[in-house]
């Protein structure tokens, strides 16, 4: 019989002989993150090939000397603000300036100006896309294949649970599809710090065997969300990740979602917007702040 003086020890009455597992240390958590963000030699080699191929393309070759000069003159010890894209921007999608200041306020400031972070030869640079696919999350259409998959009950949706793995898979998939200037391990670690600060988020789609089959991730600034990348084992799973992201953004009163890619314009009924329109929408969406999970 349990005595009254034992009631405040009630939890321990059923744990005799069971050792409580110690919480992982910061070093253990960081080592696990680094392992998830790492890439093998073949992917690194392919990354260099894709980047060099893009730099040697006719669209890039004319601006290459100026780009390399700016990168060579970059002094990481001297902080500098992101460039003002009203006065400094390429005619097409391209390099704007070396990214010297990689603090969280500077990153959010740059994304709020319509810039995105790219990596050329391992160096972070500010990149200005000429066109983006964007719109209000609440007005985005929901593809039928994604809705059928969700209704089947064969998948599980989570948020911010596997950010590192999603970012790694997105990067690897992009490199294999010959998309240049993807973040290396240091770049992914930088994005992970934004996650820790509450400004980066991910959506994960897992199958019945708890295997990650799709996901996307991006950065929140004000009431705008800029999706960095996404992947999926099928078009339906990739669409479902964006469907769930749009639903949550609408619920959280986000007013602008920049998906960053033209691949989903047809499925989601979003418009391909020129740089000036995107910048105007971003400027009107920066009021307010929603941090955390």
Least confident of 66-75, 196-205, 268-277: 66-75
Rounded to a whole number, what is the distance in angstroms from the first to the last CA of the chain?
A: 44
Alpha-helical (H) ranges within the chain are 10-13, 26-37, 41-55, 58-61, 64-72, 104-112, 144-152, 163-176, 185-197, 235-251, 265-268, 275-283
Residue 98 banded pLDDT, cuts 50, 70, 90? confident
The predicted pLDDT at position 150 comes to: 95
Q: Are 268 and 249 in contact (CB under 8 A)?
A: no
The predicted pLDDT at position 42 comes to: 83
Least confident of 24-38, 85-99, 122-136, 192-206: 24-38
Q: Kindly list the distances between the CA atom of residue 57 and the CA atoms of 62, 63, 177, 253, in Å, as whole numbers in the listed order.
A: 9, 11, 17, 41
Q: Are 81 and 101 in contact (CB under 8 A)?
A: yes
Residue 17 banded pLDDT, cuts 50, 70, 90? very low
Higher-pLDDT residue of 265 and 251 is 251
Residue 168 banded pLDDT, cuts 50, 70, 90? very high
Distance, CA of 61 to CA of 196 (rounded, Å): 38
Select the highest-mean-pLDDT range: 73-77, 91-95, 223-227. 223-227
Is the predicted pLDDT of residue 225 greater than 90, yes or no? yes
Half-sphere exposure of 292 (CA within 13 A, CB side): 3
Percentage with pLDDT > 70 across the chain: 73
Half-sphere exposure of 43 (CA within 13 A, CB side): 20
> DSSP readout, 166-203?
HHHHHHHHHHHTT--S---HHHHHHHHHHHHHTSEEEE
Go through the domains of the chain in sequence order and give each one's CATH number. 132-283 (3.40.630.70)
Least confident of 15-29, 88-102, 243-257: 15-29
State the pTM of this model: 0.81
Higher-pLDDT residue of 57 and 244 is 244
Half-sphere exposure of 212 (CA within 13 A, CB side): 21
Is the predicted pLDDT of residue 218 greater than 50, yes or no? yes
Alpha-helical (H) ranges within 73-212 are 104-112, 144-152, 163-176, 185-197
> Is 104 exposed, middle or buried (CB count within 10 Å of its CB: 0-12, 13-18, 19+)?
middle
The predicted pLDDT at position 154 comes to: 94
The predicted pLDDT at position 55 comes to: 79
Distance, CA of 215 to CA of 198 (rounded, Å): 18
Q: Are 262 and 131 in contact (CB under 8 A)?
A: yes
Q: Are 192 and 37 in contact (CB under 8 A)?
A: yes
The predicted pLDDT at position 15 comes to: 43
Higher-pLDDT residue of 241 and 90 is 241
Least confident of 24-28, 218-222, 261-265: 24-28
The predicted pLDDT at position 213 comes to: 97
The predicted pLDDT at position 11 comes to: 46
Distance, CA of 243 to CA of 203 (rounded, Å): 10
Higher-pLDDT residue of 65 and 75 is 65
Mean pLDDT of 96-101: 84
Mean pLDDT of 260-283: 81
Mean pLDDT of 10-21: 46
Residues ≥6 apart with Cβ < 8 Å to 142: 243, 246, 268
């Amino acid at each position: 019989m349990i005595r009254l003086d034992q009631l405040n020890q009630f939890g321990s009455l059923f744990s005799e002989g069971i050792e409580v597992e110690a919480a992982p240390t910061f070093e253990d958590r960081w080592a696990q993150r680094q392992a998830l963000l790492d890439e093998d030699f073949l992917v690194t080699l392919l990354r260099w090939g894709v980047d060099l191929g893009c730099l040697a393309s006719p669209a890039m070759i004319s601006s290459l000397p100026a780009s390399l000069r700016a990168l060579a003159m970059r002094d990481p010890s001297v902080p500098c603000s992101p460039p003002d894209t009203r006065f400094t921007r390429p005619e097409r999608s391209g390099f704007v300036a070396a990214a010297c200041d990689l603090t969280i306020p500077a990153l959010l400031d740059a994304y709020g100006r319509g810039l995105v972070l790219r990596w050329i030869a391992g160096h972070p640079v500010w990149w200005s896309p000429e066109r983006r696919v964007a719109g209000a999350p609440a007005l985005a259409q929901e593809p039928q294949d994604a809705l059928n998959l969700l209704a089947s009950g064969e998948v599980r949706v989570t948020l911010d649970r596997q950010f590192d793995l999603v970012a790694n898979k997105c990067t690897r998939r992009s490199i294999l599809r010959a998309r240049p200037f993807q973040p290396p391990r240091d770049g992914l670690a930088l994005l992970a710090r934004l996650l820790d600060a509450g400004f980066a988020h991910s959506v994960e789609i897992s199958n019945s065997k708890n295997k990650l089959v799709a996901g996307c991730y991006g950065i929140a600034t004000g009431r705008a969300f800029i999706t960095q990348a996404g992947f999926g084992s099928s078009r339906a799973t990739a669409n479902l990740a964006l469907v769930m992201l749009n639903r949550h953004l609408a619920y959280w009163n986000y007013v602008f979602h920049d998906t960053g890619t033209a691949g989903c314009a047809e499925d989601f009924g979003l418009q391909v917007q020129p740089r000036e329109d995107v910048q105007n929408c971003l400027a009107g969406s920066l009021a307010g702040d929603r941090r955390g999970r």
